[in-house]
Structure 1
Amino acid sequence: MITRLVIFGGTGDLSGRYLLPGLAALRAAGRLSDDFRIVCADRKNRDDTEFESWVETQLDRHAGDIPVDARAAVTTATRFRRADISDPDSVAAVVSGDSPVAVYLALPPALFPTAVQTLDQVGLPPGSKIVLEKPFGVDLVSAVELNRLLADLVPEEAVFRVDHFLAMTTVQNLLGSRLSNRVLEPIWNSAHIARIEIIWEETLTLEGRAGYYDHVGALEDMVQNHLLQLLCLIAMEPPITLSERDLRDRKVDVLRSLRPLTDAEIPRRTRRARYSAGTIGDRRVRSYTDEDGVNPRHRTETFAEIELTLDNWRWSGTEFVLRSGKALGTDRKEVAVHFRPVPDLPFGTAQPNILRFGLDPETLTLALNAIGGSAEQLVPLTMSAQIQPPDLPAYGRLVLDVLSGNPALSIRADEAEEAWRVVDPVISAWSRDVVPLDEYPAGSPGPGRNSSEPGAPDGGRPRTT
């Protein structure tokens, strides 16, 4: 197991909010040895006292539920080193050594090619790993080029294109639930399932991320990676094992079977919008275009919806809806499986069954129909189960996989490229305004929906800009 971790961009939000707390959780669980060392590298210089105070503050704020001794051990094991990812000499001083190192690029994605080229010039010790956060490129062409640069640096099995959604307990439960329950797997197909919604809607606005978000928008920030990854786990054929090859082969099969939308289909099967001024709870929210760091000329969407179909035996005829939005009235983060209605009823009417996998909070809900006071009366019956909290946070699990060399939950090169193949036509059409940019008030259910049922169309079209 690797005992050295170097984080480039090591004093940024990703490091302080997720990576250091994840490491503290690993330490508390006894998964990090006493000789484990962490280097946070950044262009801005910090003295040792200032940096130690910063680490302690981040751990107190984001890992306050972890024992004090585990947090103190991470603080002791962490050092700051000044390094510029474009400067080979400063990078070499950080990554060189006799033992393998895990290099985590907690950097803006635009710097990935430069970082990989510099690391290739410097060279990494044998057995080292490299970790990249999404997005992997900005389109198919750039993803192919980035994969080429990575292949020059290290073998594919040493590349970890991480998506923390895959390490979430409920995301893994999506696959576990369908494969381990005989009542589900036989009906997990288009003959019984009409529609599957993969939803990540949140009340949060930009939260200081305008510098990144205004250049990507909801489609690239959420749909192209996180939600497509969820679709893969939902729609994949049962793998022979959960090894990295079997699992990732089946995910790529799903992406390859997704039918890219044509220019004629995109206006009917996609929607984009951004929030205007409104109220979320008791909080007054400015229009997206008035947020600090936003350039209105970018016409960046904060809400994206895309309807996809799969050209394969299991799912032909089922609609997959992927939707993500910010500054909405309620948080809705779930996968909703809508079953087809029964073909005939000798009495009354019944609502189609819906199985909901709650992603945050972690729940499992099944809506059934039950007999009421008489055989002619049906009433809805809802069963819910609260999932136990995980032993490790998502980033703790991801870092552990990197250190132990298990790439099963990372994105393979061809998988990253296939995801762009699906989304590229939509990005191109939206850039040409083939689909209007709608608006919805902050705190509302979103564009074209009413508040009586989350996600239900209200039959109207919102105003466009």
Structure 2
Amino acid sequence: MIDRLAIFGATGDLAARYLLPALAALRAAGCLRDGFQLIGASREDWDSHQYRGWIADRLDRHGSFYPADARRAVAASAHYRQADVTNPGDVAAVVAGDDPIAAYLALPPALFPHVVTALYDAGLPTGSRIVLEKPFGEDLASARELNSLLAGLVPEQAVFRVDHFLAMTTVQNVLGSRLANRVLEPLWNSTHIAEVEIIWDETLALEGRAGYYDRVGALKDMVQNHLLQLLCLVAMEPPITLGERDLRDRKVDVLRSVRPLTDYDVAHRTRRARYLSGRIGDRAIPAYADEEGVDPRRHTETFAEVELELDSWRWSGTTFRLRSGKALGQDRKEVMVRFRSVPHLPFGHEGEALPNVLRFGLEPEGLTLDMMGIGSRARAFTPLSLTARMEPPDLPAYGQLLLDVMRGDPALSIRGDEAEQAWRVLTPVLSAWERDLVSMQEYPAGSDGPAPRPHKGEQRPRSDLLHPEALPGDLP
């Protein structure tokens, strides 16, 4: 168990809203020992006293539901070092000491290579760990370069490429529901499932994140990491155990099986858009291009949708649709599994027998099965919904992630080859969008998003398929 945590970017929004409350939750649950030390590193010209006051204020704002003594203990454990994360000497001073340390890079991905190189030069005590926030790299090439740097610093099992979605109990329930219930697993294949939609639609707009978001966009911010991770849990083969090797091997198998996208596929299977001005409830939302901190020339998308197919025995013929958008009219955060229609109805009926739909609610938590029954009139179909609500988790997602880091359990983090495969899947989309092969649509803030584009043309023939590891440069 590691008792030292260094946060680079310790005064940022991620630390304030998520990491500090997570530490308070761990302290309240008895998971942090009395000797725990928090080292905050950032550019502000502060001392430890000022930093502790800032922590107390942020915990009052974002973690007030945790006991006051737990919040005070987190603040009391903190020390502060002013640091330029691109300066090797500053980085070395932050991690100095003989005991193992967990170095959490709560920073923009462009800074990761600088900090990792500085950590390598400084040398880390044996048993130390590195934690990197998503997105891991900015493209396939940078992800490979970063993996190479990390390999020279610590063992792969000491690298935690964290995605807090994986620690959400509702997300883990996607895997648990399939594997712990015999009634589902026999149906979990393309014979019975027509399509799967993985959706994260938000009413939130930028909310002050333009400096980060305008350089990333919806595809990199949500689809490349969070939604592809959900795809892995939905589509993976049952692992032998939930240990880090078995679980992550099966996730990589899913990403390797994603059929490579050609330019034709990108043009017909993806959409991108950004919001115009509008209203969401009582809020007036300016157009994305007019938001403070946005450079309209970047053509950054606030809505992204990608349709994927898997070349595997289990999933050939099932469509997987990944979608995320900002400033939409309602929050919709779910995994929706749509089953195929029954092959034959043996009796006359009134009304339409709709396909069964299994919905995993992510926020709020829940599980719903939409099915058909017979209504009050004989042979008249009526929709039925069976709904279950989840018990609240013992720890918030970031609390579970930090606990895994300190205990050294990487099962819920992303392995190096997995991060590269995720970039491989979406590199053709990024390339085609940069060349404007897919037009930028627009939608009013507060609406349902851009109008769906009708699919035209035929599916490409099977003879066009390439090996799953083929890179975009190998595409015809």
> Normalised by the size of structure 2, how large is the TM-score?
0.94
Q: Which runs of 5+ in 2 are unaligned?
A: 456-476
Q: Which residue of 1 aligns with 2:97?
A: 97
Q: Which residue of 1 aligns with 2:472?
A: none
Q: Which residue of 2 aligns with 1:368?
A: 371
Correspondence list, 1:42-441, <5 A: 42-345=42-345, 346-348=347-349, 349-441=352-444
Report the residue type matching 1:96 in the other structure: A
Q: Which residue of 1 aligns with 2:14?
A: 14
Segments ≥4 residues shifted beyond 4 Å? none
When the two structures are aligned, how many residues end up with a matched partner? 452
Residues of 2 paired with 1:92 and 1:306: CA distance?
42
SS of 2:5's equivalent in the other structure is strand
The answer to whether the Cα contact below 8 Å between 1:448 and 1:458 also exists between their aligned partners in 2 is no
Q: Which residue of 2 aligns with 1:462?
A: none
Report the residue type matching 1:403 in the other structure: M
Residues of 2 paired with 1:275 and 1:347: CA distance?
47
The answer to whether the Cα contact below 8 Å between 1:347 and 1:375 also exists between their aligned partners in 2 is no
> Normalised by the size of structure 1, how large is the TM-score?
0.96
Report the residue type matching 1:398 in the other structure: L
Moved more, 45-54 or 349-358: 45-54
Moved more, 56-65 or 309-318: 56-65
The answer to whether the Cα contact below 8 Å between 2:84 and 2:91 also exists between their aligned partners in 1 is yes
SS of 1:30's equivalent in the other structure is coil
- Offset, 1:458: 9.2
Per-residue CA distance 1:237-265 (angstroms, 9 max, x = gap) = 00000000000000000000001211111
The answer to whether the Cα contact below 8 Å between 1:39 and 1:81 also exists between their aligned partners in 2 is yes
Per-residue CA distance 1:321-361 (angstroms, 9 max, x = gap) = 00000000000000000000000112233000100000000
Q: Which residue of 1 aligns with 2:469?
A: none
The answer to whether the Cα contact below 8 Å between 2:166 and 2:412 also exists between their aligned partners in 1 is yes
Per-residue CA distance 1:49-70 (angstroms, 9 max, x = gap) = 4322210111111111101111
- Offset, 1:407: 0.2
Per-residue CA distance 1:166-206 (angstroms, 9 max, x = gap) = 00010000000000111100000000000000000000001
Per-residue CA distance 1:368-387 (angstroms, 9 max, x = gap) = 10111244201000111111
SS of 1:361's equivalent in the other structure is coil
Residues of 1 paired with 2:45 and 2:299: CA distance?
36
Report the residue type matching 1:186 in the other structure: P
Q: Which runs of 5+ in 1 are unaligned?
A: 450-456, 460-465
SS of 1:153's equivalent in the other structure is coil
Per-residue CA distance 1:293-325 (angstroms, 9 max, x = gap) = 101110110000000000000000000000000
- Offset, 1:25: 0.3
Q: Which residue of 2 aligns with 1:454?
A: none
Report the residue type matching 1:347 in the other structure: G
